[in-house]
Amino acid sequence: MTGRPARDTYDHPVLPTVDHPRRRRRAVWTLALLPAVVLAGCSRQTVTPAPGAPVAYTAVGANVATPGDAVLPVATSTGKVGRPIVVGTLPSAVALVPGGASLLVTVKAEDDLVEVSTASGRIHKRVRVGLEPDAVAVTPDGSTALVANFGDNTVTEVRLPSLTVVRTVPVGRQPVAVAVTPDGKQALVADFQDGTLSPLALPALTPGPAVPVGAEPVAVAVTPSGDRAVVADFQTGGLTPVALPELVPGPAVVVGANPTGLVLPNGDTAWVSAGAGLTTVPLSGAPPGAVVPVGGPAQCIGAGPGATAWVGTGAGTLVEVAPATGKVLRTVRLSGIPAAVVVTRATT
């Protein structure tokens, strides 16, 4: 694997429930890129949702078996898929800039961060970051993007809106997720191979001591109040709460098979994509709710309008779920395997 540190495989085999793209060797998926990949949605027209209606932006193709190169806009009001926004091979993560005027996409095979205009659906800028960027988060004031680089164990700070690289700092091995606290004073990075959460003090981007949070952390989110972070662990199937700003981990809550993502719609609950469904987990310590099946391995999750969640599946679908009722509201067929999803806010 070009540029990858010597240890580029995992101690644990891929579990059968989820073919998680982050657990693959780059040398393997590089070979898979040789055939041309045709997206079935290329002939579709640009999404034109109802005025103010949110759009779900889904990165597709960050998977060794079905490599792709696009972000698909999905109108949440109709479920219609718009014209693919081609960003580069293996888009792995998406994040909205506050205000929703632009979308940031990490392109894992090209080591780039790409900015897309949500109004036009066109690429505005792109910049080279670290090796195999796998996650991106934006500070609450919209001035900075932080990119976790899986391949070289670093986080790159990118100034917005100029999309200029400021600096790069080391974190733990194989960082796969990053979140920023609501006050903008701290970033938290999930280090997959080390089983830790690495804190970075902002704005200086100063690393602090890593905190153990589970064998293979794959996702991290912070409550709206900023009093705690929640980390999902792929191997153990657990969620670990971490008190902030003290960075003290609490007892893990077992969710089930192989969590891949989580969102915190409020300070009381986590929605987790895990196994073949969505699980609602009370942060009070109460037992998790029943799994809502989504028709395939759950690969990613985003919070949508009206207390809904949008779950991307290994079956090549995006599924709208009402977690409060446990009902599947809509299933949208995509032209690739989703790796990440983010939903814009409604506007008036």
Taking residues 271-292, report their average pLDDT: 93
Phi and psi at 32, nearest 5°, equal -70, -15
- Mean pLDDT throughout 191-204? 97
Instruction: Give residue 68's pLDDT.
Output: 86
Instruction: For residues 47 and 73, give the distance between their C-alpha atoms in angstroms, rounded to a whole number.
Output: 7
Res. 148: pLDDT tops 90: yes
Query: What is the arithmetic mean of pLDDT over 280-304?
Result: 93
The residue with greater pLDDT, 325 or 36, is 325
- Amino acid 208 reads G
Q: How many CB atoms lie within 10 A of CB 164?
A: 11
Give the pLDDT of residue 64. 59
pLDDT (tens digit per residue) in 203-215: 999 999 999 999 9
Q: Which of 146, 41, 155, 34 is nearest to 97 (CA)?
A: 146
Tell me whether the omega of the peptide bond preceding residue 67 falls within 30 degrees of 0, making it cis. no
Distances in whole angstroms, Cα of residue 348 to Cα of each of 39, 164, 239: 33, 32, 36
For residue 345, the model assigns a pLDDT of 81
Residue 3's pLDDT band, with cuts at 50, 70 and 90, is very low
pLDDT digit string, tens, across residues 79-93? 999 999 999 999 999
pLDDT band at 62 (very low <50, low <70, confident <90, very high): low
Q: What is the pLDDT of residues 7-28, one digit of tens each?
A: 232 233 233 334 444 444 343 3
CB 171 within 8 A of CB 189: yes
Between residues 139 and 25, which one has the greater pLDDT? 139
Q: Which amino acid is at 123?
A: I
Q: Is the pTM higher than 0.75?
A: yes
Q: How far apart are CA 185 and CA 311, in angstroms?
A: 30
The pLDDT score that the predictor gives to residue 257 is 85
Distance, in Å, from the CA atom of 177 to the CA atom of 157, rounded to the nearest integer, reads: 14
Q: What whole-number percentage of the chain has pLDDT above 70?
A: 83
Is residue 56's pLDDT more than 60?
Answer: yes
pLDDT of res. 284: 87
Name the helix (H) or strand (E) containing 111: none
Q: Check residue 54 and give its pLDDT.
A: 92
Look up residue 51 and give its DSSP letter. T
Q: Is 253 helix (H, G, I), strand (E, B) or coil?
A: strand
pLDDT digits (tens, 9 = 90+) for 32-49: 333 322 222 222 333 444
- β-pair partners for 309: 303, 321
Q: Which of 2-6, 83-87, 321-325, 327-331 has the lowest mean pLDDT?
A: 2-6
Q: Using CA atoms, how far apart are residues 175 and 330, in angstroms rounded to an integer? A: 33
> Is the pLDDT reported for residue 348 higher than 80?
no
pLDDT grade for 316, boundaries at 50, 70 and 90: very high
Strands (E), 38-143: 55-60, 70-75, 85-86, 91-96, 102-107, 112-117, 123-128, 133-138
What is the pLDDT at residue 247? Answer: 96
Tokens of 69: 């190169």
CB atoms under 10 Å from CB of 38, counted, come to 8
Q: For residue 27, which phi and psi values (nearest 5 degrees)?
A: -60, -35
Q: Do 218 and 192 contact (CB within 8 A), yes or no? A: yes
Give me the pLDDT at residue 45, please.
Answer: 36
pLDDT of residue 61: 73
Quote the mean pLDDT of the chain. 85
The mean pLDDT of 267-284, rounded to a whole number, is: 94
Selected residue with higher pLDDT from 278 and 44: 278
Is the per-residue pLDDT at 264 higher than 50? yes
Token output for 30:
């590089």
Residue in this structure with the two tokens 């949500």, named with its chain if needed: 118
DSSP single-letter state for residue 96: E
Q: Are 255 and 240 in contact (CB under 8 A)?
A: no
